[in-house]
Structure 1
Amino acid sequence: MAPSSKLRVQTSALQRLIKEEASYHKELEQQEGRISKLEANPSEDNAEYLLKQERQALEETKKVIPTVREKIVQTLQQVEEELENNKAEGGVASTEDVTKAKEAVAAGKKALGQSA
């Protein structure tokens, strides 16, 4: 089996980061829902403690998202550079790798809210 190309590795990293960011956004929504539910029904014995814990988890999730976005930006730039290097070298990478990289770049720009 041939070693993975740098383009393939960077593409995989970008795809993973995009999925990771999406999961954090989903987690954020779930935490906000749990907080709303606890605020609506404060009758539980330990509701105050649970509410505090959920708010703390929400804040931690909010702090992680900018870091992941920055990693997406960096990895997106690396993938674009690898695509340019591949083009300059006369298309050394396989067509499949180039296609996946272009799809990952488009997905990364979409995740960042940029036009592809």
Structure 2
Amino acid sequence: MPPPSDLAIATKAVERLVKEEAFYRAELAKQQDRVRQLAAEIAAATDPSTLDSNAEYVLKQESRAVDETNAVFAPLRQRTAESVSTLEEQIAIREADQVDGAAGSDDELEKARAVLRTGQTALAKEI
């Protein structure tokens, strides 16, 4: 089996980074929901003895987790932007090779273009 081409490697990198960002976004939403629930429970408690003795600590830890997850996005977006740029270069190289008559996988090129659009869309979204 031949090794994967540079185009295939660049395509997989962008796919992986887009999936990773989607995972972190979903995780962040769950964490924010837990923080809201805990804060609401603490605020709604009329009798402090009915609260879990660690409720304030748990809220603080959950808030810290939200902050840590938010800190992941800037470096992740930077790596995604770099990978998208690399993929654009690899697509251009493959297209130039096809014009010159070199044989290449059209399926691989089409998949790369689709993943490139996905990566560009992910980068265009607000943080």
Quote how far apart the aligned CAs of 1:93 are: 3.1
Is 2:24 aligned against 1:37?
no
Which residue of the other structure, out of 115, 124, 127, is the alignment partner of 1:104?
Answer: 115
Greater Rg by CA: 2
Q: AA paired with 1:85?
A: I
| Equivalent position of 2:82 in the other structure | 74
Select which of 61, 65, 75 maps to 2:73: 65
TM-score, normalised via structure 1 length: 0.93
Flag structure 2 segments of 5+ consecutive residues without an equivalent: 43-50
Which deviates more, 84-93 or 101-110?
Answer: 84-93
* Equivalent position to 2:92, from 77, 84, 90: 84
Structure 1 vs Structure 2 CA RMSD: 1.2
Determine the structure 2 residue equivalent to 1:94: 105
Q: Which amino acid aligns with 1:61?
A: T
Q: Separation in 1 of the partners of 2:61 and 2:104?
A: 49
- Separation in 2, partners of 1:20, 1:14: 10
Q: 5+ unaligned residues in a row in structure 1: which ranges?
A: none
Partner amino acid, structure 2, of 1:109:
Q
> What TM-score do the two structures reach when normalised by structure 2?
0.85
* Corresponding residue pairs, total: 114
